Amino acid sequence: MTFPRALHCAGLAYLAAAAASVGVSCRKPEPVAPAQDRAAFTFPRSAPIPRKDAFFGLHFDLHPQATDTALGADISEDNIRSLLERVRPDFVQYDCKGHAGWAGYPTAVGWPSPGIVKDSLAVWRKATRDVGVGLFIHYSGVWDSQAVAEHPGWARIDANGRRDPNATSVFGPYVDELLIPQLNEVAQKYGLDGVWADGECWAAQLDWSPRALAAWTKETGYRDAPKDRTDSRWLAWKGFHRRAFERYLAHWIDAVHAANPGLQLTSNWMYTTFAPKPVEAKLDFLSGDYSPSLSVDRARVEARYLASTGMPWDLMAWGFDKGKDLAWSIKPVEHLMQEASVVLMQGGGFQIYHTPTRSGYLVEPIIAQEEAVAAFCRARQAVSHKSKSEPQVALLLSSESFWDRSDAVFAPWGDVFQDLEGALHALLNLHYSVDILAEHQLQPRLDEYPLVVVPDSHRLTAEFRRALTDYVEQGGSLLLLGEKSARLFEPLLGVEIEGAPAQRTAELASAGGVTNADGVWQKIKPKTARAAGFIHPTRDVRTGGEVAATVNAFGKGKVGAVYGPVASIYFRSHHPWLRDFIGGLASELFPDPAVTVDGPPTLDIALRRTPDGRLSVHLLNTAGMPLPDRYGFTDFIPPLEGIILTIRTEARPRSVAWVPDGGRLEWSWAEGRLKVAVPKLKIHGAVVWE
């Protein structure tokens, strides 16, 4: 099917306008991509790009229902080919089975939706194979409402004995009697390239089914199970479920790989911030779809953690969102370009999620949006994809604290990451290049980072505390943002802790001014430490000051500590004077970062090394980023001007260039410092030198 000419022309006009708004005006032709990336720009391709090397993809799911009447009725190769030829993705993920449990293809294993008119997967397989694009499926695993309806014994049971209407039990036969046989069926029937399994780790629930209780008794000897966190065994109960889910996952991954050795498999959100642990199941890549509304903010966390896993990874943006009490609307291209930039500057792949019509038709505004965003990403691929961090600041995501705080099996629901995100936002607003790592990632790499920041983490293992103590003793710098994490390192602080922490009315004084900091504070008395900040009972800071922060020399290194909830307060306020306060401590502990910036706090940076070995600084303009529920969409991102970067580099660079357009930049070098002027930043760009 061909598009009406008016619609196609409108899409091209939209694309041209979007492209004109992307970044610094072009002054030279775009540089040629390195040899390993040239396949991405060749289209059609002779064969799909392996997922470990894939950079840009598309995702379409419908979650077929019993009420559907027209699945596939409007699907056509012409419509799909128009999308593929204009967007040129490395892969497509199309719907197979959603959370409702109905399949969108004529399955002989499960339950096909009664609304199938045409086999959509067959049409997509032919169209993608013709142009050498990988075809993956969206398949819902643990969450399968129809399987539970048909087989009530497969359901997870809650603490009150009620059967879950949606979540299957990972202790039951669902995985062997439906999931594995159905994945083998669909993979072989359509010659698929891979599976993106949804509704898995984040949909798994604590389970009081007879099978789960029997396994608990066998493992622990307990004849009863905890019901809530008032039971001292609650953490052990959650750990039992986390291990069970991972056994379930490894089982189906291994079984499907055995039947289909070339199939590339992942389980949505596993081994990400939802499950911050070492990778054990044999996934081929990691992936997750972050919030459609808090998009830039969530991607800033998820991308930095995924970049530390050592696995191939991508993040999925929703190409649509909705305002309060409204239905879904397509996002403007600038909106998605800003989201994509967060991922690109951490070296990951990027994909966009959309839904076709229920009959399978892809409307022109979706294709035009994806075409524009794909062009934006491809222009940056050579310096972004698979780039590696040059370590500067390590921010700890404490898995030990997470396991305790989260009452899900694997999911960060609630405020479990409020301190982490507040600390991240402050550090990024202060123009530090930040990596997020859990204990198992950070401990073997501690000596790479000049500064380690621990948000208010209440649980750390004795082994990890010893490792951080050794790190400081040998010359490292440690910043503790909160009374809980500070008390874990009392021997390093050079203070006397007085009594228990307590809720306080507090006004925090900084170089910028006084800002409210009500919350739980720990009273201390400096011994060898220097007082580095004060709280007061009122805004009149002439009297009544109590020490709020200290800096202490320990061995060859330094420890800074704040004894109240500054990270979570920053998350909830983003007050610039609080940023000044945190920045004063950070600069004392880390006085000479590799990159310093003269620019606004809405500028994020990342110091990276490109795949071909060049150093680069990625810059992201976060101004105007969406903030629900009233400012959920943006098509105007005010440009940042007059940015000055000062970069430590021993030798005078041979060249300094601006990506994406290859334009020349004004720069100078003297005494080991490269100074670069970036005249205008629209959304994202990278300064690259060699």
Three-state DSSP state, 557 = strand
From residue 133, alpha-carbon distances to 88, 315, 665 in Å are 8, 19, 37
Given this structure, which CATH class describes domain 31-289? alpha beta
pLDDT over threshold 80, residue 264: yes
Question: What is the pLDDT at residue 668?
Answer: 97
Of the pLDDT bands very low, low, confident and very high (cuts 50, 70, 90), residue 483 is very high
> Hey, where are the domains in the chain?
31-289, 391-591
pTM, two decimals, is 0.94
Q: How many residues are given for the chain?
A: 690
Contacts (Cβ under 8 Å, ≥6 apart) of 631: none
DSSP β-ladder status, 434-437 and 507-509: unpaired
Interval 198-245: pLDDT, tens: 999 999 999 999 999 999 999 999 999 999 999 999 999 999 999 999
* Cis previous bond, 44, omega within 30: yes
Average pLDDT, integer, range 527-547: 94
Helices (H), 88-171: 120-131, 145-150
For residue range 160-211, list pLDDT tens digits in order: 999 999 999 999 999 999 999 999 999 999 999 999 999 999 999 999 999 9
| Correct CATH for 391-591 of 3.90.1150.10, 3.30.70.980, 3.10.129.10, 3.40.50.880 | 3.40.50.880
> Which residue type occupies 27?
R
Alpha carbons 15 and 399: distance in angstroms, whole number: 43
User: How much is the average pLDDT of 640-665?
Assistant: 94
* Cβ count within 10 A of residue 421: 22
pLDDT value at 356 more than 90: yes
**Which backbone phi and psi does 112 adopt, to 5 degrees?**
-70, 140
pLDDT band at 40 (very low <50, low <70, confident <90, very high): low
For helices 295-306 and 418-429, the axis angle rounded to 10 degrees is 90
Mean predicted confidence (pLDDT) in 140-148 = 98
Pairing type for strands 56-60 and 91-97 reads: parallel
Whether residue 322 is predicted with pLDDT greater than 50 in this model: the reply is: yes
Residue with tokens 């606004």: 600
Of the chain, the percentage scoring pLDDT greater than 90 comes to: 91
Say what the alpha-carbon torsion angle 395, 400, 406, 411 is, to the nearest 10 degrees.
60
Across 100-129, average pLDDT: 98
Please, what's the b/e burial string for 44-53 (b: 16 or more CB within 10 A of its CB; e: otherwise)?
eeeebbbbeb
How large a percentage of the chain has pLDDT more than 70? 94
> How does pLDDT run across 549-586, given as a tens digit for each residue?
999 999 999 999 999 999 999 999 999 999 999 999 99
Q: Is the pLDDT of residue 24 over 90?
A: no
The confidence band for 6, taking pLDDT boundaries of 50, 70 and 90, is very low
pLDDT of residue 544: 82
Mean pLDDT of the chain: 94
Does pLDDT of 487 surpass 50?
A: yes
Q: What is the mean pLDDT of residues 470-475?
A: 98
Please state the φ and ψ torsions of residue 79, each to the nearest 5 degrees: -65, -45
pLDDT of residue 22: 38
Tell me which long-range contacts 426-430 makes (C-beta under 8 A, separation of at least 24): 426/567, 426/570, 426/578, 426/579, 426/582, 426/583, 427/393, 427/395, 427/453, 427/582, 427/586, 428/300, 428/604, 428/605, 429/574, 429/579, 429/601, 429/602, 430/579, 430/582, 430/583, 430/586, 430/601
Contacts of 48 (CB under 8 A, 6+ apart): 90, 91, 128, 132, 133, 134, 135, 193
CB 564 within 8 A of CB 482: yes
Q: β-strand 434-437 against 393-396: which pairing, if any? A: parallel
More confident residue, 60 or 9: 60
Residue 663: what pLDDT?
77
Distance of alpha carbon 403 from alpha carbon 409, whole angstroms: 9
Q: Residue 652 burial by CB count (10 A; 0-12/13-18/19+): exposed, middle or buried?
A: exposed
Contact between 385 and 51 (Cβ < 8 Å): no
| Single-letter amino acid, residue 140 | S
